Chain A
Amino acid sequence: MKQKHQRLTFILLGLLCLGSAVGIILNNFQDNLVFFYSPTELKEKAIDYNKLIRIGGLVEEGTAKQSEDGQKHEFNITDLTNSVKVKYTGILPPMFREGQGMVATGNLEGDVFIANNLLTKHDENYMPPEVAKSLKKSGQWREEE
């Protein structure tokens, strides 16, 4: 009987641990899931302005501008069908170029995407999968090779 009690205590303790962990996880998932959209989807879907999202595509040729002090940047991200204007304050990542694939995290404010984080890849041959998906969706994807 004693051993049964002991086992029960451990099982209950384990369940309690697991339960609270699952509770914390679910609670956090709600707030911390960041959805990804292509520029076309941004146009088509109604998106909550308060929610953090990610967008991806190519930096449109001839749209990158920077302010006097070099801190504020503006450029368009495009999936070659639609494009969205992005504003960003801070240092651009080293591989930032027009025509390069990139993923930005931030909020939508009106028609402008306010990015607080930009992700480019460190390798010219590499295309982030999200960007590839974005281009495939808009039908502008060309298989290389």
Chain B
Amino acid sequence: MIPAIGSFVLIIALGISFVQIFTPFCKNKEIDAKYISLSVFLLVAASFGCLLYSYVTSDFSVMNVYKNSHTHKPLIYKITGTWGNHEGSMLLLCLILAAYSFFFALLNKLETKMKDIIISVQSAVNVGFLAFIYFTSNPFERILPKPQNGVGLNPLLQDIGLAMHPPVLYLGYIGFSLGLSYSVAALISGKADRGWATSLKKWTLFSWSCLTLGIGLGSWWAYRELGWGGFWFWDPVENASLMPWLVATALLHSLIVHEKRESLKVWTVLLGIFTFALSLVGIFLVRSGVLTSVHSFASDPQRGTYILIFLGLVVGISLTLFAMKAHKLKPKNKFAPFSKEGGILINNLILVVLCLTVFLGTIYPIIVEVFSENSVAVGAPYFNSVFNPIALPLLILAGIVPILKWKKDDAQKVKAKLLVPLICALFIFGLVLFVPDKQSFIAAISLGFSTWLISSMLYSLYERRKSSIPIPFWGMVISHIGLGVLAAGITVVSIWGQEQEKILHANESIKIAHYDVKLVDMYIAAEDDYMMRFGNFEVTDYTGRRVASLQPEVRYYPVQGSNTTESDIYYSLLSNLYIAMGDSNDKGGFVVRVYHKPWVNLIWLGCVLMASGGFIAMIKRKK
């Protein structure tokens, strides 16, 4: 009964959304748009609630529950399992989209004409996704007869980091639908004024911060759960989230120019369109199964085709509009190249080029596959050697541009402001260059750049100490420092990280960095839904002092017949000592992998700082 209701309300929501594409343009509006949006939101929420209910009560007559759940699963993973699969996660996506549309209708203060167009476009996107769910991936499909028990959730996904990852990520992806709607509205109405930019900037800040957090969470999950101690693999699915992030970052910055100076209008509108288009590309890459990836748990060509058509429609229609109407958006102000606007424009160029390099590397294998018999892969070396050198100048820019003046700045004055950061950066550069035994030129450059960025931001706060600092400025400073922290973390862990792999018997040990890791003994144990083998490890530092005892596990899930590696990590302030267990050999030895990950915590800290900066910048200035 409940699943039938879930399916039924979904189709009603689809119907109402379809009607709402046209209602804003009707002459006599008897019902306010926000009530219509609210009804769609409530209906999708009800549908989601029905699915959640089916999961919690383990109703295996629902195909989706049967395939992804099991009575032995802990309640928390029964709940999060709702979106731990293709259909459920798409329903979650629709719920978030409906929520964005509703909150837009409720909160915005735009003029009526603009608002009407935006609501109409949002409804069209709603229809696109609801139809996608209903016709290609209905979560409420039934099986008869009802099976006794379910197949269970992929054990890799039974992790709190991953349970939170999709909702947060979707809050990012889907928030960009407003970027598309605002852009289309600007093109149709032929104007995009300050209010337009301020309003879109808020939504973009929120979605961007969520996407940043979502990517961070995904990376943190992969780091702990996949057992190779890596935080970024240049996996196509990771790239799928990175591309919209890069363009959204560009959009955010060009919106600031738009808001303050009313220039770069056409560019902003174009970025608005592309940010959402790239979110759709991301969804296509993940959902169509065209790529080999941990994430491609549902591969169905029909779904891929659907999303591709949807993407084609969105991009085709909005770019046609762009070509016809963009000339109407005239900039109000001109500016000199050496100004804040100029700097932001260069930042935008670099971000877009970065996105292009990721896009090419991700899409190229698919193109080759389509046009020839060959299968190719573009590996991490490509991305590392192309992405990193182009990204490094961003650190420099992020340290300079915020202290430049709008319109036109004086090079002499700027030089004086940059003296302190320059000295700090050179100091760190020199210091790193002469680290005994561990010299690395690349690390010196990269850490120098990070220091430059962080010290320049701190110095700009110091300079403004006498005047009151506006809240958005705090947000910017925190985000930029986050970027510097992130870059420093990535540099140190990739260059000075260590890894050792050895067969250990009881009482044998591995030496790594300044630690000594000893396998004391091993146990086998059973839990509700899995069996595990864990090792007791003792970690001592070079003085012989015991610093930690760690219990990494290998879990075997009989329901799915699969293994997972539960690494165990010793967290010092900045660095991690990371132990993962592997298989046993014939003679009672265990394969043990130990990683020393210096400064890796800075990566997560950087992500959190960047996202919090974004949220802080949303806070309204007191008038």
Contacts and interface: CB of A to CB of B under 8 A. Distances in A.
Interface in B560-602: 560-565, 582-583, 585-587, 589, 591, 593
B563 A70 contact: no
Interface string A44-61: 000000000010000000
Contacts of A10: 337, 345
Given A9-B337, A91-B593, A92-B582, A29 B292 contact: no
A112 interface: no
Interface in B253-305: 289, 292, 294, 297, 299
Contacts of A126: 297
B500 to A, nearest CB: 11
A122 B382 contact: no
B346 A13 contact: yes
B554 A94 contact: yes
Main SS of chain B's interface residues?
Answer: mixed
Given A24-B386, A94-B563, A124-B561, A70 B503 contact: yes
A65 B389 CA distance: 43
A92 B334 contact: no
B455 interface: no
A63 interface: no
Contacts of A24: 357, 385-386, 389-390
- Chain B: interface size category: 35 or more
Contacts of A13: 346, 349
Contacts of A21: 353, 356-357, 386, 390
B382 A123 contact: no
B501 A91 contact: yes
A145 B246 CA distance: 42
A95 B563 contact: yes
A123 B154 contact: yes
A33 B561 contact: no
Contact of B503 (A3, A17, A29, A71): A71
A139 interface: no
Interface in A1-53: 3, 6, 9-10, 13-14, 17-18, 21, 24-25, 28-29, 31-36
A54 B503 CA distance: 27
A70 B437 CA distance: 32
A109 interface: no
A91 B583 contact: yes
A22 B501 CA distance: 39
- Chain A: interface size category: 35 or more
Interface stretch (B315-323, B370-378, B469-477, B541-549): B370-378
Contacts of B422: none
A74 interface: no
B386 A6 contact: no
B336 interface: yes
B375 A133 contact: yes
B506 interface: no
Contact of A122 (B289, B299, B386, B562): B562
B355 to A, nearest CB: 11
A126 B294 CA distance: 10
Given A94-B554, A94-B565, A34 B582 contact: no
Contact of B583 (A3, A31, A92, A133): A92
A71 B590 CA distance: 11
Contact of A94 (B382, B389, B564): B564
B219 to A, nearest CB: 18
Interface in A67-124: 69-71, 90-92, 94-96, 103, 105, 122-124
Nearest to B589: A70
Best-buried of A14, A94, A95 by chain B (most CB within 10 Å): A94
Contact of B334 (A3, A14, A70, A123): A3
Interface of A: 3, 6, 9-10, 13-14, 17-18, 21, 24-25, 28-29, 31-36, 54, 66, 69-71, 90-92, 94-96, 103, 105, 122-124, 126, 128-130, 133
Given A21-B386, A123-B560, 8 more contacts: A28-B386, A71-B503, A92-B583, A94-B554, A95-B563, A105-B379, A122-B155, A122-B564
15 contacts: A6-B334, A10-B345, A14-B349, A25-B386, A33-B377, A34-B376, A54-B377, A70-B586, A70-B591, A91-B593, A92-B583, A94-B227, A94-B582, A95-B562, A123-B560
